[in-house]
Amino acid sequence: MLCPNIFSIFLAAATACAAADTTPLEERATGFVTRSGTGFVVDGKAFDFVGTNAYWASGLSSGDLKSLFSQMNSAGMKVLRIFAWSDNVGGAQDDSLQYWSGSNNTPNPSAFAKQMDPIVSAAEAAEIKLVVPMIGNWGPSISLYIQQIVGSGGTHDTFYSNSQIVNAYKKYVNFFVNRYKSSPAIFAWELMNEPRCAGDDNRGKSSACNAAMITSWIQTMSSYIKGIDSQHMVTVGDEGWFTSAQGYGNSYPYSGSDGIDWVTNLKISSIDYGTVHMYPSGWGQTDDWGNTWISQHGDQAKSIGKPVVLEEFGTTNTGSRYNTVNGWLNSAYSTGFSGIQYWQFVASFPSGYTSPDDGNGISTSESTYSLIKAMASKMNAKGGGGSTPVTDTPGQSSSTSTPGNGGSVIHYGQCGGIGWTGGTSCQSPYTCKVSNPYYSQCL
């Protein structure tokens, strides 16, 4: 989904977060989700899920993060997709994960400590998994790389083909992945939100941009991430465009005109699962066509032998939303999708913050939300339960904070943080180490 105002949202919301230690999070154990055939597993158990999108979540205060994850736990949702990029030109700023000086980009540790460490730690405690795209096709994200390195004359697809730009993005990815590669809270690293040959930056695309160009970039970046982090999955984050080679016709979603060949990309060995986005009315299709889009991807994924996730979907047709979403959910379930994530989570939070809604979002107060909870229950049962939803307060995880012998906290247990009321003394030989103000752990 196009979100051009993400940077101003990050700036406004991030001010609610407290200052934090800039040290990378310490190593974690178990709980990593991996691919197994056409499904996911965690600690030997099948992991089918319903989740949501909240691109703005990394800017929430600690109390609002706890509320978000508590609401997800109560609904049976297991996976949250966030957006994880923000840049500025000039010196380091705590609201920007990366800053630029001319053509040189520098990831900002203090901003990561303030924006990303709290959400990763809170997700660990709440047993929520995070899908993390590290750049986006829309707004100033990839366009800023082009502007700083090539200038105003660079077309949008220069991002995929210019070696200096590719290396600059690798620099950011390297810092990001290394910082959190030991956290089981990461569900998957995502290469980009909705990669295409063109964006909304008026740069246009060159005549050289095609599916082969972006597929080559996907191969390069996914292999690069796997070389840094072999424990986590990698996916593209694309909308799922087909080409005429699949035989579905030549209308827009099947033309390959945006430079995406979903089938070829899913066959790349360093890509673990396929992503599908779906906004039929925005693509000149009927809402009912969405069921066809879902079944086509399910069939292709089965043929390739990898999982598929309906990662974004929505409709602005509020009058028919309940029945439309019900049909889409059931189609994804019956077709064998391993994950379903709606766009987007809409709710109010303790601080007074209300999450944004572009008209596609599903509010926790509307009737359609009951369908999300019902499907979460079905998917959890299908997966043998996966990881049991946490029912205590997020930040006080029952799986990691249990005191050990003599009332001391066991290895990997939580031992401190703002609002923490449990034990603070670790079993020997472990010590309580601070990850950020909200989460300390026995390591």
pLDDT tens-place string over residues 35-93:
999 999 999 999 999 999 999 999 999 999 999 999 999 999 999 999 999 999 999 99
pLDDT at 401: 30
Can you tell me the distance from the alpha carbon of 192 to that of 265, in angstroms, rounded to the nearest whole number? 13
pLDDT tens-place string over residues 17-42:
333 333 344 443 489 999 999 999 99
pLDDT at 186 over 60: yes
**Checking DSSP bridges between strand 104-107 and strand 98-101, what pairing results, if any?**
antiparallel
Can you tell me the distance from the alpha carbon of 96 to that of 289, in angstroms, rounded to the nearest whole number? 40
Cβ contact 341:312 at 8 Å: yes
pLDDT at 406 over 60: no
Joined tokens for residue 75: 């609904």
Joined tokens for residue 99: 């800053």
Which letter does DSSP use for residue 131 in this model? E
Q: What is the mean pLDDT of residues 121-127?
A: 97
Can you tell me the distance from the alpha carbon of 127 to that of 184, in angstroms, rounded to the nearest whole number? 9
Which helix (DSSP H) or strand (DSSP E) does residue 311 occupy? Answer: strand 308-313
Q: Where are the domains of the chain?
A: 6-399, 401-443
Among 202, 215, 278, 203, smallest CA distance to 243 is for: 215
- Residues contacting residue 314 through CB under 8 Å, at least 6 positions apart: 1, 278, 279, 342, 343, 344, 359, 360, 361, 362
Is 190 considered catalytic here? Answer: no
pLDDT tier at 162, thresholds 50, 70, 90: very high
User: String of b and e for 317-326 (b: at least 16 CB within 10 Å)?
Assistant: eeeebbebbe
Cβ contact 266:222 at 8 Å: no
Among 194, 239, 311, 366, the one annotated catalytic: 194
56, amino acid identity: W
Question: pTM value?
Answer: 0.83
Numbers of helices and strands, H then E, in the chain: 11, 19
Among 124, 190, 311, 312, the one annotated catalytic: 312
Is 312 considered catalytic here? Answer: yes
List the CATH code of the domain at 6-399: 3.20.20.80
